[in-house]
């Protein structure tokens, strides 16, 4: 008998897993077979507290019957309608609902099927907008180090994670701001660091180097997520906005992680009081039940493209599954849950206890920094000599065994629990993680 028949596990060989150490995983797999509320059920029958909302996406918690019912109803009513030159009512209803949640003015919604596609769509819209205004020479993009904007060629190029970039050709004409993390001045900051607003002034320098009239847009995550939860220094985003305004650059906020209540407001834009020109979203839009992404676009940008004869297609871009009816149904049901349960307000109320729990872990292991904002946090473990990533991986495995799912990249732990988490579960999270950290060599 092979391993699979002994353990009742499926054959693991055919599935080439994404962003995964395939050989390591398959030697010691972690399979999840069910999920309800804040907990996963593992294939060996254990309950595991989901301290990552899946991959920062199951904001309302798992197994929501309202979403399942809406999806089933939609599938049996209209499973699919062509996305080009045709549509269906839920696409319009959802667009209106999203536009009620986004900052005023960002009320034209372009749909995609993932965060990566939302980013590509935003970048293309930025280019098309400048071209429509007779400024087609504005083709440069400015991203930032340690940024993650998905894995398609545009998002990868403006992104700033070296492993995602080094194997592939990149878009020409992309510059990067430095990352805002500044441990020398700001380690163990609670919330936004006090120091570092001036990092935004690099944008002025880059503008000076290339000329503003060559730059289409600046794209940033308001709080960098995958790069290690890096809250922006106080005043930093304000400066970026001011410099963009001064030079006619569009400001794109990639809110794939920060959207839908992660900071206790609908979007980070409202949390920080800074309005971008385009805002990308995905993940929490459907509570991750069905893939969907979108870009919310300022009405002026949209209107600038609504030119020429009415029979002309204004933007040559879109996907077979743009505004897929089933995704729309899942999104509408998710937005209903967020509103009915006041989950963004609840997340805001949980931010302080979460901050206290996470910063309470200082001293439990060799830790060089702890950062947090809203319901996101990161803990930097010191790398073990000669074995970067080993301590982090050990933390992941031990936490999982102890009933807690955390996210680890290299030696950084990230936490982003569902917005439905309460004080008792925050205390559990802190206790389990504290014990795990204390057990690490
Ligand atoms: N932008 C941001 C800010 C993201 O965080 C994407 C775009 C791409 O989304 P899609 O749906 O194409 O994956 C993301 C995705 C992690 C992790 O462990 C983060 C993401 C995805 C998978 C894992 O940090 N963010």
The enclosing domain of 260 has a CATH number of: 3.40.640.10
Residues 108 and 206 in one domain: yes
How many Å apart are CA 433 and CA 278, to the nearest integer? 37
pLDDT for position 9: 81
How many other CB atoms sit within 10 Å of the CB of residue 239?
18
pTM here is 0.97
Together in a domain, 209 and 224: yes
| Residues 6+ away with beta carbon under 8 Å from 246 | none
Query: Which domain range does residue 50 map to?
Result: 31-60+342-439
As a whole number, mean pLDDT of residues 209-233 equals 98
User: What local confidence, expressed as pLDDT, does residue 186 receive?
Assistant: 98
Do 44 and 149 lie in one domain? The reply is no
51 found inside a domain: yes
Do 336 and 349 lie in one domain? The reply is no
120 and 84 Cβ atoms separated by less than 8 Å: no
Same domain, 188 and 236: yes
Domain shared by 170 and 298, yes or no: yes
Tell me which residue has its CA closest to atom 1 in ligand 1: 149
Q: How confident is the model at residue 8 (pLDDT cuts 50, 70, 90)?
A: confident
Model confidence over 246-305: pLDDT tens digits? 999 999 999 999 999 999 999 999 999 999 999 999 999 999 999 999 999 999 999 999
Model pLDDT, residue 2: 47
Tell me, yes or no, whether 116 and 184 share the same domain: yes
Instruction: Assess whether the C-beta atom of 254 lies below 6 angstroms from ligand 1.
Output: yes
- Among 307, 340, 373, residue at a domain's last position: 340
Give yes or no: residues 289 and 330 share one domain: yes
pLDDT at 18: 98
Which pLDDT does position 7 carry in this prediction? 60
* Three-class SS state of 254: strand
Q: Is the CB of 120 under 6 A from ligand 1?
A: no
CA of 307 to the centre of ligand 1 (A): 34
206 located within any domain: yes
Q: What is the mean pLDDT of the chain?
A: 97
Q: What pLDDT was estimated at residue 1?
A: 40
Check: CB of residue 147 under 8 Å from CB of residue 311. no
Q: Cα–Cα distances in Å, from 220 out to 4, 98, 141, 276, 409?
A: 44, 21, 11, 10, 20
> Within 13 Å of residue 351, how many CA atoms lie on the same side as its CB?
21
Tell me if 9 is assigned to some domain.
Answer: no
Same domain as 172, residue 310 = yes
What single string gives the DSSP state of each residue in 115-140?
A: HHHHHHHHHHHHHHHHHHTT-TT--E
Mutate to test the pocket of ligand 1, among 117, 152, 225, 253 (most ligand atoms within 8 A of CB): 225
Nearest CA to ligand 1 atom 23: 55
Asked if 404 and 429 count as a contact pair (C-beta separation under 8 A), the reply is yes
* Residues 131 and 271 placed together within one structural domain of the fold: yes
Residue 144 bridge partners (DSSP): 177
Q: For residue 176, give every residue at least 6 positions away whose Cβ sits within 8 Å of its Cβ, in sequence order, or none.
A: 142, 143, 144, 145, 147, 158, 160
Q: How confident is residue 441, by pLDDT bands cut at 50, 70 and 90?
A: confident
CATH number at residue 371: 3.90.1150.10
Q: Is 410 in the pocket of ligand 1 (CB under 6 A)?
A: no
Q: Is residue 205 part of a domain?
A: yes
Domain check: are 46 and 117 in the same one? no
Which of 340, 362, 387 marks a domain boundary? Answer: 340
Same domain membership, residue 377 and residue 333: no
For the stretch 100-159, pLDDT in tens is: 999 999 999 999 999 999 999 999 999 999 999 999 999 999 999 999 999 999 999 999
* 250: helix, strand or coil: strand
Q: What is the number of domains present in the chain?
A: 2
Ligand 1 near 160 CB (within 6 A): no
Residue 4, in any domain of the structure = no
Q: What is the pLDDT of residue 317?
A: 98
Q: Give the model's confidence band at 6: pLDDT under 50 very low, under 70 low, under 90 confident, else very high.
A: low
Among candidate residues 312, 340, 368, the one where a domain is terminated: 340
């Amino acid at each position: 008998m092979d391993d699979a028949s002994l353990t009742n596990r499926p054959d693991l060989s055919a599935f080439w897993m994404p962003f995964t150490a395939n050989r390591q995983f398959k030697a010691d797999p972690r399979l999840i077979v069910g999920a309800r509320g804040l907990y996963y059920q593992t294939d060996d029958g254990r309950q595991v507290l989901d301290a990552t909302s899946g991959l920062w996406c199951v904001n309302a918690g798992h197994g929501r019957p309202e979403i399942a019912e809406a999806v089933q109803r939609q599938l049996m009513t209209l499973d699919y309608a062509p996305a080009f030159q045709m549509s269906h009512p839920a696409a319009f209803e959802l667009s209106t609902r999203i536009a009620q949640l986004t900052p005023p003015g960002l009320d034209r919604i372009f749909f995609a099927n993932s965060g990566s596609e939302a980013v590509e769509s935003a970048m293309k819209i930025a280019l098309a907008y400048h071209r429509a205004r007779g400024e087609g020479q504005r083709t440069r993009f400015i991203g930032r180090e340690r940024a993650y904007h998905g894995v398609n060629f545009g998002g990868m190029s403006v992104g700033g994670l070296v492993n995602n970039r080094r194997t592939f050709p990149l878009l020409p004409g992309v510059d990067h701001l430095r990352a805002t993390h500044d441990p020398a001045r700001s380690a163990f900051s609670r919330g936004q660091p006090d120091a570092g607003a001036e990092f935004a002034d690099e944008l002025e320098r880059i503008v000076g180097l290339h000329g503003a009239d060559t730059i289409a847009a600046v794209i940033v995550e308001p709080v960098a997520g995958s790069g290690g939860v890096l809250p922006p220094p106080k005043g930093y985003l304000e400066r970026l906005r001011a410099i963009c305004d001064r030079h006619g650059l569009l400001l794109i906020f990639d809110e794939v992680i920060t959207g839908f209540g992660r900071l206790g407001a609908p979007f980070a834009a409202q949390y920080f009081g800074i309005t971008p020109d385009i805002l990308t979203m995905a993940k929490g839009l459907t509570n991750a039940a069905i893939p969907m992404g979108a870009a919310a676009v300022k009405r002026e940008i949209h209107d600038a493209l609504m030119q020429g004869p009415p029979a002309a297609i204004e933007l040559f871009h879109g996907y077979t599954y743009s505004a897929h009816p089933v995704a729309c149904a899942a999104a509408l049901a998710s937005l209903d849950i967020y509103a009915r349960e006041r989950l963004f307000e609840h997340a805001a109320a949980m931010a302080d206890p979460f901050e206290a729990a996470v910063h309470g872990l200082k001293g439990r292991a060799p830790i060089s920094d702890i950062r947090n904002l809203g319901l996101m946090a990161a803990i930097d473990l010191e790398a073990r000599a000669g074995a970067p990533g080993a301590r982090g991986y050990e933390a992941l495995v031990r936490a999982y065994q102890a009933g807690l799912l955390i996210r680890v990249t290299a030696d950084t732990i990230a936490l982003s629990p569902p917005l439905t988490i309460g004080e008792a579960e925050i205390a559990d999270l802190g206790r389990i993680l504290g014990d795990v950290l204390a057990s690490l060599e």
